[in-house]
Chain A
Amino acid sequence: MTYQDRNTVVSIFVNLAVSAFVVLRLLEMNASGMFEGSDAVNNWARLVIWLIPLGIVATITGTILFNIGFAIFTNEPKPSFIVDERDKLFERRGNFAIIAFAGAGFVTAVIVLALDASALIGFNIIYFGMAFGSLAADIVKFVSYRRGY
């Protein structure tokens, strides 16, 4: 497994974990009435803004643990950290997925808002569009690494 291949695997798990956490937290907040009234969007934003440092810490921790585990199980004390042209090609492929999903999320949000949905729903559509885009990008890269091209 190359360095970027390992990072892709970590990113998939981090994306899934963070998304699951967000969904559970949103359901909890909705059940407790935090999305009723004029503070709904502000409460949503206070949850989402914590995802930035959460995602960073989870990614760093996951990357370190995965690389240590990989080195131990493959008996490779000095795994490669090279990022070459093939890695960059796969990265570009993944970026197309991010753009597609984020764009679709934005357009969907605009349509939904035009149909009188709340701003909270619009923001959630945009957020999950980007989250699914990131996950789709990782899956595209993961498949590319398995195929080899």
Chain B
Amino acid sequence: MGKLKITNIIRRLRFDADEMTQKDLAEKVGVTRQTIVAIENAKYSPTLELAILISRVFDKPLEEVFDVQDAS
């Protein structure tokens, strides 16, 4: 099994949530805006705790917000 890449639909969910900004989402989950940017661009994989907090902001199940892909 190759390295896994965590993808997400956070950007789309933010847009659907009255165009929530990255800063707003960051404040809601207690991280920096730059961390949200890195997560949305699939460059940084959040901890399980942060992933759950983000999912709860949008009231979506975890597996709907995040997905796992084989990076290779």
Contact A148 B38 (CB under 8 A): yes
A1-55: which residues lie under 8 A (CB-CB) from chain B? 1-3, 5
Contact A85 B34 (CB under 8 A): no
Residues of chain B lying within 8 A (CB to CB) of residue A73: none
Contact A82 B32 (CB under 8 A): yes
Q: What is the total number of residues of chain B having a CB less than 8 Å from a CB of chain A?
A: 14
Contact A86 B30 (CB under 8 A): no
Contact B37 A84 (CB under 8 A): no
Cα distance A1–B35 when bound, in Å? Answer: 11
A61 in the interface, Cβ–Cβ < 8 Å?
no
Contact with A along B12-54 (1 / 0, CB 8 A): 0000000000000000001111110110010110110010000
A110-149: which residues lie under 8 A (CB-CB) from chain B? 145, 147-149
Cα distance A88–B67 when bound, in Å? Answer: 24
Residues of chain A lying within 8 A (CB to CB) of residue B43: 147-149
Contact B44 A2 (CB under 8 A): no
User: Nearest chain A CB to B28's CB is how many angstroms away?
Assistant: 12
A85-110: which residues lie under 8 A (CB-CB) from chain B? 85-87
Cα distance A2–B44 when bound, in Å? Answer: 15
Contact B41 A84 (CB under 8 A): no
The residue that B32 contacts in the complex, of A86, A147, A149, with Cβ under 8 A, is: A86
- A-B complex: 8 closest residue pairs judged by Cβ atoms: A84-B31, A149-B43, A148-B38, A149-B44, A2-B32, A86-B35, A148-B43, A82-B32
Instruction: Give A residues with C-beta under 8 Å from B.
Output: 1-3, 5, 80, 82, 84-87, 145, 147-149
Instruction: Give B residues with C-beta under 8 Å from A.
Output: 30-35, 37-38, 41, 43-44, 46-47, 50
